[in-house]
Amino acid sequence: MSVFFKCQGARLRYGNSAEPLTVLEDISLSIRQGERVALLGKSGSGKSTLLGYLREQLLNQCAWCPQQPALVAQLSLFHNIYAGGLTRHSNLTNLRNLFFPSAIVQQEIGAIASQLQLQQQLWQKAGELSGGQQQRVGIGRALYQRRRALLADEPVSALDAEQGRLLLTSFLAQHDTSVIALHHVELALSLCDRVIGLADGKIVLDAASKSLQLQDLTQLYQ
End-to-end Cα distance, the chain: 35
pLDDT recorded at residue 198:
95
Q: What is the pLDDT of residues 22-53, one digit of tens each?
A: 889 999 999 999 999 999 999 999 999 999 99
Residue 222: pLDDT over 90: no
Identify the band that residue 15 occupies on the pLDDT scale cut at 50, 70 and 90: confident
Burial call 88-106: b when 16+ CB within 10 Å, e when fewer: eeeeeeeeebeeebeeebe
Closest CA to 181 of 163, 166, 195: 195
Residue 16: pLDDT over 70: no
pLDDT recorded at residue 213:
93
What mean pLDDT comes out for the span 162-166?
93
Task: Quote the pTM value.
Answer: 0.93
Q: Mean pLDDT score of the chain, rounded to an integer?
A: 93
Domain ranges of the chain: 3-221
Report the top-level CATH class of 3-221. Answer: alpha beta
